[in-house]
Amino acid sequence: MKFGLLSALATGALLATAASAFAAETYKIDKDHAWVNFAVNHAGWSTAMGKFRGVAGDIVFDQADVTRSSVKVEIDATSIDTNFTDRDRDLNSPDFLNTAEFPKITFVSTAVEKTGDKTGKITGDLTIIGVTKPVTLDVVWNAEQPRSWDASAIISGFSATGIVKTAEYGLGKVAEYGLGPDIKLMIEIEAQKQ
Amino acid sequence: MISPLLLHTIVWPFGLGVVLAMIVLSNRPNTISQLFIAVAMILAIYVLLEGVPSFPPVAAKQKLGFLIAGIAVAVPVASFLRHKVWFVTILILGIALAWMGVNKLVDAAAWPQALMILAAIPVAAFASRSLETRANDVFLWPAALLAFAIGGSILSLLGFFVGFAQAMGALAAWIGGYLLFQFALIAMGGKANALAPITLQAVLLSFVSMSFMVALFAPDVNLLAYAVLSLTLLVPHFAPEFRDLPPLAKPFASGFLAAAPAVAAILVAFTQRGLSVG
């Protein structure tokens, strides 16, 4: 009797694990439908906007248990675009993104928390200019559906926002030049199920 | 009210330069102490502008702070061991370029750029031979370093690296404060003392190491202009002694001579930038 109960529990646990494993799907970020935008206070005059064009990465998304999901993103730091080429060159310098030494910005999730039906928080390690600090993003899962012209291509869409504290990364020039000091991230990502 | 940016870039460095001139005038510290004071001032300027570098340093501009501190130790040690000045210059600047540039130089695409920058090292080594022979000229070497710093600052600005336009500008303000005090002293009939050759060597190595940051990392740096700028360092070697000139005219003669390669470098950068933009 005791053996039978243990056996049933073990089988149940194994099935549950297998079900979860199957529920986790891998998605590849669509670089043409990925917008990593940012906004930063510009000396109190306005909120300056910009974006990164080169975004790549993978999402492991478990719809049944989102805490088992994960995200890994790599951004080409040189792809920064603030609508003014000279300023973009300046932002590539060691005063800011130091792209000659650190051409990539990376984000690797460390924890995912469910906060609502379609909302959650993703905490992860954000590495900028060789410095890694934890950052938390508020995420909304917008939808998942096939492309209207290609039923085999399943697309999931996410929106995320977060704050990067530049002082934590040693980006002292940001505040010195009257910017920020914090940078607001506004991310829109479409990813295709693999 | 002066903004912190101007205070850190011009006012404080200029004041430190005046203090250095007063210390040199007092003739109190021995040459090693004078070297330490001068390099400590350069480090103070660096920290004012860039903050205290993290340890271990990750980025080149953090490594620079440790390099400058290392120069303050390496130069006296090399002098004690009686190593040739040109050899020490090549060794220290070689280490500086390799260590600061390593993150960039792992990419073979950056090697041609590195070769252009590398050319500044033999120029500085050759120039350093005149540190002893022309050290008695109060204005000659400082004027060359002033021109080098101003030129480096403008090249950095044109290359979209504002932070090191500030840093090189602050070095110019520092050596400018030193020169202005010395000139005022002579104008009032006083007798100025020159920096010790070993101090000049440490200052030269610090200035050139700082300029490597511009040459390596300014996003749109003009390396031809940088190569021309490095010729500024040769001026003390080839400059005449201006024996026939009155004492108050000598600093101007040294200054104009030193400014020539720096102005040429700026013109090269401006011209090529104009061509690339237009």
pTM score of the predicted model: 0.88
Predicted local distance difference test score (pLDDT) of residue A7? 57
* Interatomic CA distance for residues A114 and B79, integer angstroms: 66
Q: CA separation (Å) from A127 to A91, A142, B219?
A: 17, 26, 21
* Interatomic CA distance for residues A168 and B148, integer angstroms: 34
User: How do residues A152-187 score in pLDDT, each as one tens digit?
Assistant: 999 999 999 999 999 999 898 999 888 989 999 999
Please, which contacts does A83-91 make with residues 24 or more away whose CB atoms are closer than 8 Å? A83/A49, A83/A50, A86/B160, A89/B160, A89/B219, A89/B220, A90/B160, A90/B161, A90/B162, A90/B219, A91/A50
Other residues' Cβ atoms within 10 Å of the Cβ of residue A71: 24
Give chain B's mean pLDDT: 91
Of A9-18, B48-57, B143-152, B239-248, where does mean pLDDT reach its minimum?
Answer: A9-18
Report CB contact under 8 Å: B160, A173: no
| Residues in contact with A86: Cβ distance below 8 Å, sequence separation at least 6, in sequence order | B160
DSSP B241: -
- Contact in structure between A59 and A70 (CB atoms under 8 Å): yes
What residues of chain B lie within 8 A of the CB of A100, using their CB?
Answer: 103-104, 110, 216-217, 219
User: How do residues B15-42 score in pLDDT, each as one tens digit?
Assistant: 999 999 999 988 776 889 999 999 999 9
User: How do residues B175-226 score in pLDDT, each as one tens digit?
Assistant: 999 999 999 999 998 888 889 999 999 999 999 999 999 999 999 999 999 9
What residues of chain B lie within 8 A of the CB of A129, using their CB?
Answer: 58-59
- Contact in structure between A23 and A62 (CB atoms under 8 Å): yes
* Interatomic CA distance for residues B62 and B50, integer angstroms: 8
Report CB contact under 8 Å: A90, B160: yes
* Interatomic CA distance for residues B102 and B117, integer angstroms: 14
Provide the number of CB pairs (under 8 Å) joining chain A to chain B. Answer: 58
Taking alpha carbons only, the member of B182, B230, B195, B172 closest to residue B45 is B172
What are the φ/ψ torsions at residue A47 (nearest 5 degrees)? -105, 110
Name the residue type at position A34. Answer: A
| Higher local confidence (pLDDT), A71 or B135 | A71
- Contact in structure between B170 and B9 (CB atoms under 8 Å): yes
* Interatomic CA distance for residues A24 and A36, integer angstroms: 24
When pLDDT is cut at 50, 70 and 90, the band that residue A9 belongs to is: low
Tokens of B87: 């050899």
Task: Considering only the beta carbons, identify the residue of B4, B5, B60 that sits closest to A94.
Answer: B60
What residues of chain A lie within 8 A of the CB of B161, using their CB?
Answer: 90, 93-95
| Residues in contact with B57: Cβ distance below 8 Å, sequence separation at least 6, in sequence order | B63, B65, B66
Task: Considering only the beta carbons, identify the residue of A89, A129, A131 that sits closest to B160.
Answer: A89
Consecutive H or E run containing B99: helix B85-105
When pLDDT is cut at 50, 70 and 90, the band that residue B277 belongs to is: very low
What are the φ/ψ torsions at residue B244 (nearest 5 degrees)? -80, -10
- Residues A120-155 as b or e (16 or more Cβ within 10 Å = b): bebebebbbbbeeeebebebebeebeeeeeeeeebb
What residues of chain A lie within 8 A of the CB of B61, using their CB?
Answer: 94
What residues of chain A lie within 8 A of the CB of B110, using their CB?
Answer: 100
Beta-ladder partners of A164: A183
- Chain A residue with the nearest C-alpha to that of B3: A176
Task: Considering only the beta carbons, identify the residue of B60, B103, B162 that sits closest to A95.
Answer: B162
Predicted local distance difference test score (pLDDT) of residue B274? 57
SS (H, E, C) chain A: CHHHHHHHHHHHHHHHHHHHHHHEEEEEEEEEEEEEEEEEEECCCEEEEEEECCEEEEEEEECCCHHHCEEEEEEEHHHEECCCHHHHHHHHCCCCCCCCCCCEEEEEEEEEEECCCCEEEEEEEEEECCEEEEEEEEEEEEEEEEECCEEEEEEEEEEEEEEEEHHHHCCHHHHHCCEEEEEEEEEEEEEEEC
Predicted local distance difference test score (pLDDT) of residue A15? 46
* Interatomic CA distance for residues B230 and B195, integer angstroms: 21
- For chain B, helix (H) and strand (E) counts, in that order, are 14, 0
